[in-house]
Amino acid sequence: MKRGYIQNELSEERTELSNERTFLSYIQTSLAAFAFAFFILKFLNETSKYFYIGIFAIFLGIIILIVGFVQYKKREKLIKKFRKKI
């Protein structure tokens, strides 16, 4: 009986850690988009067409960050709801 409880507890912890890793991946991707935008805006001419690509990369980074946060909170809520059932 105790072994089943421990395995269940560990699987719940792995699920929480997996959710956190996924959120960190969203953050990493958004930071990469911001870095790309910084490179474009800093090192290329502002009057060129690349300026708009840099602005788009900033908005893309913001969107990725928001989507990642919303997904993280949604999954966290489901995990806590599942944990209360058990």
- One-letter amino acid of 72: Y
Task: Return the pLDDT at 68.
Answer: 96
pTM of the model as a whole: 0.79
Residue with token string 């966290």: 76
Task: Return the pLDDT at 69.
Answer: 97
What ranges do the domains of the chain cover?
A: 2-85
Task: Return the pLDDT at 70.
Answer: 97
Task: Return the pLDDT at 4.
Answer: 55
Alpha-carbon torsion (72, 77, 78, 79), positive or negative: positive
DSSP per-residue codes, 7-58:
HHHHHHHHHHHHHHHHHHHHHHHHHHHHHHHHHHHHHS-TTSTHHHHHHHHH
The series of mean pLDDT values per 10 residues for the chain, 86 residues long, is 62 88 96 93 78 92 96 91 73
Give the CA distances from residue 15 to residues 4, 19, 68, 72, in Å, rounded to whole numbers and listed in that order: 17, 6, 16, 12
